[in-house]
Amino acid sequence: MPIDAMTDTRRELTDLERPALEQAFADDGVPVFHARQVFGWLGRRGAAAFAEMTDLSRDLRTQLDAAYRIATPRIARRDTSVDGTTKFLLELGDGKLIESVFIPDTPAQTFCVSTQVGCAMRCAFCLTGKMGMVRNLTPGEIVGQVRVLARETGLVGQAFNVVLMGMGEPLHNYDATMSALRILGDEHGMALPARRVTLSTVGVLPALERLAGEAYMPNLAISLHATTEDQRDALVPVNRKYGLRDLIEACKRFPVKKRDRITFEYVLLDEVNDTPADARRLVRLLDGIRAKVNLLPLNEAAGIEFARPADDRIDTFARILADKGVIVSVRKSRGRDIRAACGQLLVEGAQRSPAQRLAQRL
């Protein structure tokens, strides 16, 4: 763990939503409008230190630097795929490592960010789940990934999308995830519209029901992957607590704006969940939901026991859905050569936990 992270007693500014930052400044005798200035420097201009905030007086910058720190994930490594996808290995203040991915031209520029170090969901086809759960990320660490990727890709102040599809289950870290989204969406900061954010979840039902009442409402993607209770129990263990039937009913109640749909993500596993019977059951499951289906042929990797279906099986599955009027797409895998594709994020290196080291040997 870096020494400064252990000994720095200053308050972490990046964890604060703007109203909380304004209150903190007021408590310190700093005029509230300076909080909005600082918030704007972080969100709109990608500042990483008070010294960069040149419209603040030097004395104020010194005062703020003595009271607050601006934690920014450090880039430990980056890998760029032949298709332009870039995977960033980021080191946090306590030395823990996470991965974030920049996916260009999708058709917009997209940042895929993590919400946890590791993941507790243990989906059978996902490398991240083999890490186990290390810890939740803070709001500032989630937002920090976006700030770093925007700076490194030259997109500070420009339009991009954010998908919460990296390491971790966003709704398992609900409070920090939603705080981070409010920070990203604040009009005085990055002003990221909710329509440019997608939250992917396996279906942690109490949190999904809370999400339905949020003012800042991201696009919703449900990681489904199965069409029967037994099948999903085996592939997505959280289904044993929050079953498929209850998940589907919660999706039917979820508020969907006009012209919007819930995306159902479905990883296709050869001769496991890719049969015509599975496709027909999926059509029936989604009846009555404004839905679209994103088929994800498995990204094979060492340590995953399943295989990618042949193209004709993928085409047959997709055609059955389309013929029944379901909007369906087959996701083109990005960054497979640098292990940046869906389900392939697995931190390696000196800071690995015992669970991570075990996963590396599998």
Residues that are catalytic: 99, 342
Asked if 322 and 288 touch (Cβ cutoff 8 Å), the reply is: no
Show the 3-state SS of 118-174: ECCCCCCCCHHHHCCEEEECCHHHHHHHHHHHHHHCCCCCCCCEEEECCCCCHHHHH
d(CA 257, CA 219) in angstroms, rounded, equals: 10
d(CA 276, CA 316) in angstroms, rounded, equals: 7
Burial 1-12 (b: 16+ CB within 10 A, else e): eeeeeeeeeeeb
Asked if 203 and 121 touch (Cβ cutoff 8 Å), the reply is: no
Give the type of residue at 207.
Answer: A
H or E segment to which residue 101 belongs: strand 97-103
